[in-house]
Amino acid sequence: MKSSHNNYFSRFDKKNKGLPSSSSSKELKKNTAKKPKPIIRAPEEHSAGSLIPLNKFLSHAGIASRREAADLIRAGKVKVNGELITEPGFKVNPKDEVRYLGKKVIPSKHFVYILLNKPKDCITTTRDPEGRKTVMDIIRNATAERVFPVGRLDRNTSGVLLLTNDGELAQMLTHPSHQIKKVYQVTLNKSLAPADFERLKKGIMLEDGEAAVDDIAYINVNDRSQLGVEIHSGRNRIIRRMFEHLGYEVKYLDRVVFAGLTKKNLPRGKWRFLTPQEVRNLKYIRKGKS
Q: What percent of the chain has pLDDT over 90?
A: 53
Q: What is the pLDDT of residue 12?
A: 56
- Type of residue found at 235: R
72's enclosing H/E stretch is helix 66-74
Q: How far apart are the first and last CA of the chain?
A: 27
Crossing angle of helices 276-283/167-174, nearest 10°?
Answer: 60
Q: What is the pLDDT of residue 224?
A: 95
Buried b (16+ CB within 10 A) or exposed e, 9-46: beebeeebeeeeeeeeeeeeeeeeeeeeeebebeeebe
Q: Among residues 71, 137, 154, 208, which one is catalytic?
A: 154
Average pLDDT over residues 15-39: 45
CA gap 40, 179 in Å, rounded: 41
| Closest by CA position to 259, among listed 128, 119, 161 | 161
CA gap 199, 195 in Å, rounded: 6
Backbone dihedral angles phi then psi of residue 162, each to the nearest 5 degrees: -100, 135
Backbone dihedral angles phi then psi of residue 229, each to the nearest 5 degrees: -125, 125
**Domains of the chain by start residue, with CATH:** 45-107 (3.10.290.10), 113-176+262-283 (3.30.70.580), 181-258 (3.30.2350.10)
pLDDT of 284 over the 70 cut: yes
Find out whether 114 and 162 touch, Cβ atoms under 8 Å.
Answer: yes
Find out whether 160 and 258 touch, Cβ atoms under 8 Å.
Answer: yes
67-120 tens-digit pLDDT: 888 999 999 999 999 999 999 999 998 789 999 988 888 777 788 999 999 999
pLDDT of 6 over the 60 cut: no
Average pLDDT over residues 167-175: 86
pLDDT of 216 over the 90 cut: yes
CB-count exposure of residue 93 (10 Å: 0-12, 13-18, 19+): middle
Does the annotation mark 154 as catalytic?
Answer: yes
CA gap 196, 248 in Å, rounded: 10
At CA 128, angle to CA 255 and CA 71, rounded to 5? 85
Q: What is the maximum alpha-carbon separation in the chain?
A: 84
Decide which of 181 and 146 is more confident: 181
CA gap 7, 217 in Å, rounded: 11
8's enclosing H/E stretch is helix 2-15
Pairing mode, if any, of strands 158-164 and 250-258?
Answer: parallel
User: How confident is residue 13, by pLDDT bands cut at 50, 70 and 90?
Assistant: low
pLDDT of 35 over the 70 cut: no
